[in-house]
Structure 1
Amino acid sequence: MQINGKTAISYHYFQRIKESLTFAATVAALLLTQLRVALIMSLVRYFKLINIFQVLFKLFTIEFGIDSSGSALDLANENIVLNELNQGKVSFVKGDATTFMKGAISENELWDLVILDPPKLAPRKKVLQSASGMYRSLNALAMQVVKPGGLLMTCSCSGAMTQSGMFLKTIQGAASMAGRKVTVLRQAGAACDHPIDPAYPEGQYLSNYLLRVA
Structure 2
Amino acid sequence: MLIIKLNPGKEKKIKNGYPWIFSDEIKSIDGEKKVGEICNIFSNDYEFIGKGFYSNTNIAVRVITLKDEEINYELFKKKIEKAIKKRVDFNDSYRLIHGEADGLPGLIADKYNDFIVIQFRNVGMENYKKEILESIIELLKPSGIYERSDFETSTKEPIKRNIGVLYGIEPPEKLIIKEHEIKYYVDIKKGQKTGFFFDQRDSRLFFRSLIKKDSLVLDGYTFTGGFAFNAALTGAKKVIALDKDKESIEMARKNAELNNIKNIDFIETRYENYIKNYTGEKFDVIVLDPPSLIKKKQERRKGVEIFKSITELSIDHLKTGGILGICSCAFQADISLLIESTRRAYFALGKDIQVVGLTFQSLDHPWIIQIPESNYLKCLWFKIY
Per the shorter chain, which TM-score range? 0.7 to 0.9
Shift of 1:46: 5.1
In the alignment, is residue 80 of structure 1 matched against residue 256 of structure 2?
A: yes
Distance 2:246 2:266 in 1: 10
After superposition, what is the alpha-carbon deviation per residue over 1:63-84, rounded to whole angstroms, capped at 9, x for unaligned?
Answer: 321111112112211211222x
Give how far 1:127 is off.
1.8
SS in 1 for 2:209: helix
Q: Percent identity?
A: 20
Unpaired runs of 5+ residues, structure 1, are 14-31
Deviation string, structure 1 residues 17-63 (Cα, Å, up to 9, x no partner)? xxxxxxxxxxxxxxx2x32111112xx2253x58x725633511233
Kept in 2, the 8 Å contact 1:120–1:158? The answer is yes
**Relative contact order, CA 8 A, sep 6+: which one is greater?**
1
Q: 1:178 to 1:6 in 2, by over 3 A?
A: farther
Mapped to 2, the partners of 1:177 and 1:72 lie a distance apart of 36
CA deviation vs aligned residue, 1:90-112 (integer Å, no higher than 9, x gap): 121111211211112xx264111
Determine which of 308, 323, 326 is the counterpart of 1:154: 326
Distance 1:204 1:86 in 2: 33
**Measured at CA, do residues 178 and 56 of structure 1 come closer, stay the same or move farther in structure 2, by a change above 3 Å?**
farther
The DSSP-based 3-state class of the residue aligned with 2:347 is helix
For 1:67, the aligned partner's letter is: D
Confirm or deny that 1:183 pairs with 2:354: yes
In structure 1, the partner of 2:209 is: 10
Helix, strand or coil: the match of 2:272? helix
User: Runs of 4 or more off by more than 6 Å in structure 1?
Assistant: none
2:211–2:231 Cα contact (<8 Å) kept: no
TM-score normalised according to structure 2 size: 0.45
Alignment match, 1:45: 223
Relative to the length of structure 1, the TM-score reads: 0.77
SS at match of 1:11: coil
1:129 aligns with one of 291, 296, 301: 301
Letter paired with 2:206: T
* CA displacement at 1:149 relative to structure 2: 0.8
**CA 1:155 to 1:178, structure 2 compared with 1: closer, same or farther past 3 Å?**
farther
The reply on whether 1:209 has 2:380 as its aligned counterpart is yes
Shift of the alpha carbon at 1:199? 4.3
Quickly say closer, same or farther: Cα 1:131–1:181, change in 2 above 3 A.
same
- Following superposition, the deviation at residue 155 of structure 1 comes to 0.8
Are 1:90 and 2:264 an aligned pair?
Answer: yes
Matched residue type, 1:125:
K
* 1:4-25 Cα shifts (integer Å, max 9, x gaps): 2332321343xxxxxxxxxxxx
Does 1:117 find its partner at 2:289? Answer: yes
Aligned residue number for residue 216 of structure 2: 36
Q: Distance in 2 between matches of 1:69 and 1:120?
A: 15
- The structure carrying a bigger strand percent of its residues is 2
Counterpart-to-counterpart distance in 1, 2:248 and 2:370: 33
Structure 1 counterpart of 2:376, one-letter code = Y
Query: Is the contact between residue 208 and residue 230 of structure 2 (CA under 8 Å) also seen in structure 1?
Result: no
Distance 1:210 1:58 in 2: 17
2:326 & 2:315 partners in 1: Cα distance? 10
Return the match for 1:66 from 242, 253, 256. Answer: 242
SS of the residue corresponding to residue 59 of structure 1 reads coil
The equivalent residue for 1:194 is 365
How many residues matched?
Answer: 186
User: Separation in 2 of the partners of 1:161 and 1:67?
Assistant: 21
